[in-house]
Amino acid sequence: MKIVTTPDEIQSIALAKRRQGQTIGLVPTMGYFHEGHLALMREARRRADCVITTLFVNPMQFGPTEDLDNYPHNFGRDTALAESVGVDFLYAPTNAAMYNDEFSSTVHVEGLTSGLCGAARLGHFDGVTTVVAKLFNQTLPHIAVFGQKDFQQLAVIRRMTSDLDFPIEIIAHPIVREESGLAMSSRNTYLKEEEMGAALSLSQAIAGAKAIAANPSSTSNTIKKNVRELIEKHAECTIDYVEIVNALSLEPCDTIDADSIILLAVKINKRIRLIDNSLLLDT
């Protein structure tokens, strides 16, 4: 595996691979790899001749009160893990390489970014779409693999890719969970042992929501009320949102069908923001 740090070099590599007729698979990340990240890399390895994983903690997607300065990192560990699953190039640019002093452009997606995490984290998705568009142009992938845990992000990136005519197939990978049911996240490292019960309430509440949704007479309001009650039993939890929306449009839905998805965002002791989601009906 080769480590690359500049846009020019990674783009030159990508152009050469394309000239050789190789397909390129991209896995964008902010590092501090866990099994969820590695699953995305394995999927890219399965689908592409050349795998590029990017490692860049993007300052544009963090708000002024968020955890940019404390975001976990361990470059040596990440390098070893990426190499262990067959990544060909680890692209780790600096802030200066990505955003020079004259940088002044932003990619904005209307509609899909207005609710859910977009309402709680103003400007977040502009940061996401801007950096992903840059990474697409720098690495020139045929496919890009994203996890479904960040479901709204996945929907926004799909829309941007379509709207801006990027010739890239967006691959969605199912959520990877701990044995406990907790959705894997780099932010899980912030959790103290005594906070695990509160953190697990998200996946437990989703399981309860799916059980209620199996009843054809159930409604969104009934399910959301039950989820809130289960999570709020834990004093450490502050709910940002509990929403049931259409998986394609992200518009709220009152009745449950095959496209209904429940999405949660919860802060643990006002320090750690966790998200989770699931389709309500198993198909």
Catalytic residue positions, numbered: 37
Provide the edge-to-edge strand list for the sheet that holds 260-268. Answer: 237-246, 260-268, 272-279
| Residue 112: exposure state from Cβ atoms within 10 A (0-12, 13-18, ≥19) | buried
C-beta atoms surrounding 274 within 10 Å: 24
Distance (Å, rounded) from C-alpha 83 to C-alpha 51? Answer: 11
